[in-house]
A and B are shown apart, each in its own frame.
Chain A
Amino acid sequence: MEEPQAQEPHTSEQPQGRRWGLYAVAAAVIGVFLLAVIGPIFAASVTVKGDPVVNSGTDSALTFTSTLFNSGHINRFNGVTFTVSGTSITAVGFQGSKSSTATNDSSVIKATLQDSAGGTLKTATTTLSTGSGSFAVTSTIASAFPTYQRVAKVVVGLTETLKTTKDATIRSAVANTNFGAATTLSVAATSPIDRALLGFDLSNVGTNGLQSATLTLTVAATATWTNGHTLTVQAFNLTSPGSAWTQGACTGSSCAGSGVTWNNAVDSNTNNTSDNIGKTGRPTAVFQMSAAPLPRRSIRARTRLPARRSALM
């Protein structure tokens, strides 16, 4: 009878090592799979242009705060806070203050949420009021929107619209008469020559982050823009006297007061036909401008008149 073969003692090291090896391989495969498929969910790649700082939060509730910029009439802009909760961005908040006291100006904050491809997921805007405090923009992304993990960027911009603080027509034919209270600005040639002056309060306007500045004018009438000509109006930086001119409160002759005229930056008596300092002739003696006009892209003309009669700017 054949003796049963003695079996080697069961050491179990090798099979168990193999099993662990298989487990390790399986775990690695699963890990790679999770990293590729689920990983982006936890990437939480919400960023803010302009050196964002992540203050706190978890993947399910993130808060980002970034100092946006210190510009415009919002001269104490403390920061921007983005809150991501759950699977959607539910709020975009801003904290700061606006110091502008100018009437009819507006400051609009616009937040754009972009996906990883640069597409816009959501845009939220709010108009800021003058004063201190918090300004909030609520932007709830509907469930149909991609969840927050696809949001790659939050871009926050500011648009400030400033009205002129002073404007007036100066007219060569009545070189000592003020038109600061007129409801229109006139640009004309050849006789008389009319030019228009525009002034803005830029004392609190910052330049950090400034992308563009555009002058917008509304055409009131082109009644004497005759002969079907396409004529152009250009804007020049007023290099002198700078801001040292006043609008005045007159709409023509026989008006007591002071204000800008063709001959004077500030005519102390607009009720006479004399200028202050005896200057006569072309306004460049008083009003000096940049050598080159502003580029056309900097100026926009709105018209409620037939387009063919509007001036090119």
Chain B
Amino acid sequence: MTTDVRNGAASGWLLKKTDETTTGTITFTSNNGTIANAPTLVLVYEPG
């Protein structure tokens, strides 16, 4: 992900199960849910 951002190639990401032939569902809070739990991209900068 860091490489994506560095390369300026990051316009979005797609989440999927690694194995889509097995059952199971997981849900994550969206940006319409509790805002504190919305997906975030954390960028850490340090000079040098």
Which of B13, B24, B33, B42 has the most chain A CB atoms inside 10 A of its CB?
B13
- CB-based contact A202/B5 at 8 Å: yes
User: Among the listed A159, A164, A187, which residue makes an inter-chain contact with B17, where contact means beta carbons less than 8 Å apart?
Assistant: A187
CA–CA, A1 and B20, complex, Å: 129
Which of B12, B17, B25, B26 has the most chain A CB atoms inside 10 A of its CB?
B26
Interface string of A182-221 (1 = CB under 8 A from B): 1111111110011111111010011111111111111111
Q: How large is the interface on A (under 10, 10 to 19, 20 to 34, 35 or more residues)?
A: 35 or more
> Which residues of chain B in 2-48 are interfacial with respect to chain A, using CB atoms and an 8 Å cutoff?
2, 4-6, 8-33, 35, 37-48
If A215-B39, A245-B12 touch, whether A181 touches B32 (CB-CB below 8 Å) is yes
Does A229 have its Cβ within 8 Å of any Cβ on chain B? yes
Measured CB to CB, the closest approach of chain A to B48, in angstroms, equals: 4
If A190-B21, A207-B5, A298-B2 touch, whether A234 touches B45 (CB-CB below 8 Å) is no
**A34-42, A66-74, A93-101 - the one binding chain B:** A66-74
The total of chain B residues at the interface (CB under 8 A) is: 44
Residues of chain A contacted by B6 (CB below 8 angstroms) = 207, 210
- CB-based contact B17/A235 at 8 Å: no
CA–CA, A183 and B27, complex, Å: 10
Give the residue name and chain of the A residue nearest to B17 (CB). A189
Residues of chain B contacted by A245 (CB below 8 angstroms) = 12
Say whether chain A's binding surface is mostly helix, strand, loop, or mixed. strand
Residues of chain A contacted by B5 (CB below 8 angstroms) = 202, 205, 207, 210, 213
Closest 5 pairs between A and B when the two form their complex, measured CB to CB? A50-B47, A298-B1, A49-B48, A188-B25, A183-B33
Interface positions of A (Cβ within 8 A of B): 48-50, 68-69, 71-72, 104, 155-168, 181-190, 193-200, 202, 205-227, 229, 231-239, 242-243, 245, 287, 289-290, 293-295, 298-299, 301-302, 311
Can you report 7 A-B residue pairs in the complex whose CB atoms are below 8 A from each other? A50-B48, A159-B43, A181-B32, A231-B22, A236-B14, A295-B1, A298-B2
Known contacts A68-B47, A199-B12; 14 further A-B pairs (Cβ under 8 A): A49-B46, A104-B38, A157-B47, A159-B42, A159-B45, A182-B32, A193-B16, A215-B39, A217-B15, A218-B37, A222-B27, A237-B4, A237-B9, A237-B12
